Amino acid sequence: MTKRNSPLQAETICAQGGGAHDASAGVSPAIQLSTTYRRGADNALIVADNFYARYGGPNLRDAENAIAQLEGASDALLFSSGMAAALALFRRLAPGSHVVCSSRGYFSVIAWLREQDARGALQVDFFDPRAPDTMAPLLRQGETSIVWIETPVNPIYEVVDIALMARAAHDAGALLAVDSTAASPILTRPIEHGADIVFHSATKYLNGHSDVLAGVLATADETTQVWADVREERKVGGATLGAFEAWLLLRGMRTLHLRVAHASRAALDLAQRLERHAAVARVTYPGLPSHAQHAVAKRQMTGGFGGMMSFEVKGGEVGALGVVARLKLVKVATSLGGVETLIEHRRSIEGPQSDVPPGLLRLSVGCEHADDIWADLDGALSSGL
């Protein structure tokens, strides 16, 4: 595998992720399913890094190395789910530590942080990503441990200025962690904008085929105590990704650049068409000039604006649910970032505490032809007029 400081372009890192299998001369990496590894006559490990699967293994390291290269990171650690990865960063904090978090984003992370705040395990202040100036006043000089943001912000896809957040967090002595799931490292590399930690639900774009549950954290500096704590949390807690899942993840990543580029082109096309549709009240897509943070998106997203958007259907929840009921090609399902186009009425999933508009639908554009996706969307929308 190419070293992490390699000057290779993202497309090359993806296409050759994991390298070849030298033992067999195969052009793709092999799967090593062993959970434990042999020691020699001197009782030393025959391969220094191969000890026990909970600590990692060849397939895990291949995938982690590829992700670290893509992010321009010092190191990366894979976990058995997105939630396992995200919570590993918070679980090692001292009781009562102060955290600042965006009030919108990955719903399960925000719900967990609200619970920790309510029970006194952590002190958590939330800010509205639509009003970024409200974040800095929440910081406590020398006391805030982590600022957690997401951009673009699920499920409405506002865009947060990473560099602005990084400056504010660092001035207060805090780390900035960025959930970059919706952008992927093909479009945004948060470390280049000042982030300390990058998070991905690797289930989504990194894998891209809706068949692997995984999460990853990548760090700008692997020598920090925070990163040592994250590594220890995975080792002791046991939320390590399995070898086969790591191999599947890496296999999916070999086409990441192609999938993201296609989805970005198709999503922009569809967003423009939706914006003109009589049944649609509003479209939120970072690539549209009408997006409130379009200028920020242009500054920190390169090569496209991603495959994620939301749009509000006239007629509120009844209208939105009517649209999803009439769809035939587009799949109605939770999750995002796969090769298939998915749609979801997010408010129904989040429940009564959700602040998502009742008529909003979240659309994850896949790898189908944009005209075919549009024919399905237009038919479902127009039938309700």
> What positions carry a catalytic annotation?
54, 106, 179, 204
Nearest by Cα to 32 from 62, 51, 59: 59
Phi, psi of 31 (to 5 degrees): -95, 125
Phi, psi of 314 (to 5 degrees): -65, 140
Between CA 317 and CA 368 the distance in angstroms is 27
Between CA 273 and CA 38 the distance in angstroms is 59
| DSSP label of 191 | G
Six-digit token pair at 189? 């590399």
- 287 burial (CB, 10 Å; 0-12 / 13-18 / 19+) is buried
Contact 201, 181 (CB under 8 A): yes
For 38-73, the three-class secondary structure string (H helix, E strand, C coil) is CECCCCCECCCCCCEHHHCCHHHHHHHHHHHHHHCC
> 137 preceded by cis ω (within 30°)?
no
Nearest by Cα to 68 from 233, 206, 270, 168: 206
Cβ neighbours for 106, distance < 8 A, ≥ 6 positions apart? 82, 86, 150, 154, 179, 181, 201
Contact 166, 298 (CB under 8 A): no
> 155 preceded by cis ω (within 30°)?
yes
Widest CA span of the chain, in angstroms?
77
